[in-house]
Structure 1
């Protein structure tokens, strides 16, 4: 299934996870950009993704703070944000921060792809 021109940005401080998610999403037809540093999301400028996959715990930055910031900002508040974390405990606080959805690591790629599709398919 091709999703031409749909852009997904991934923010995770684990390069292995970034590579894996990028490959899967690109294979599914998405255009993918990624960052290891969550602080980069605070200065996205005009080049906005259609969807953001955001890790909850990144070195130096809490993904929930980034999520709340983006959801509270006019240019970025409509971007769907799917938060990912190895800890189920953070699901409630992720959703409270404004995340549209939450996935617990490890997750099945099919679950990720169907969640992405749900928001921008």
Structure 2
């Protein structure tokens, strides 16, 4: 069986490492980016799910989510926003994200949403 691919876009390397370890233990293949530039790289392989921190390097990055959801080859990929912003429930609707997780996040909530959107 092919492992589901998850892309973690998060600028906090500690969070990236923790999420990678947790998701790999659950059998997922994990790729990560700390700045969102991964989408511009040659050979970029579309994941089955994107976990996207809405603030990267101190900047609001709703534009990345909107770009994904407007891109013909990527709009089908579920995007879960990750943020400590208390308005994340509004923000995720504005940029077309499929769901959101509030930081600091609960491990069970993370895994539940990942499993829901990957069909695992």
Normalising to structure 1: TM-score of the pair?
Answer: 0.89
Which of residues 25, 28, 31 is equivalent to 1:30? 28
Counterpart in the other structure of 1:106: 104
The answer for unaligned runs of 5 or more in structure 1 is none
In structure 2, how many angstroms separate the alpha carbons of the residues matched to 1:118 and 1:16?
25
Matched, 1:88 2:119: no
Equivalent residue pairs, number: 119
Q: Runs ≥4 in structure 1, deviation > 2 angstroms?
A: 39-46, 60-63
Tell me if structure 2 keeps the 8 A contact 1:42–1:69.
Answer: no
CA distance in 2, matches of 1:95, 1:115: 16
Return closer, same or farther for 1:30/1:44 CA change in 2, 3 Å cut-off: farther
Aligned to 2:12: 14
Structure 1 109/92 Cα, relative in aligned 2: closer, same or farther at 3 Å? same
Please list, as runs of the form range in 1=range in 2, the aligned pairs for 1:22-101 lying within 5 A after superposition: 22-43=20-41, 47-59=45-57, 62-101=60-99
Cα RMSD of the aligned pairs, angstroms, is 1.8
Q: Structure 1 43/69 Cα, relative in aligned 2: closer, same or farther at 3 Å?
A: farther
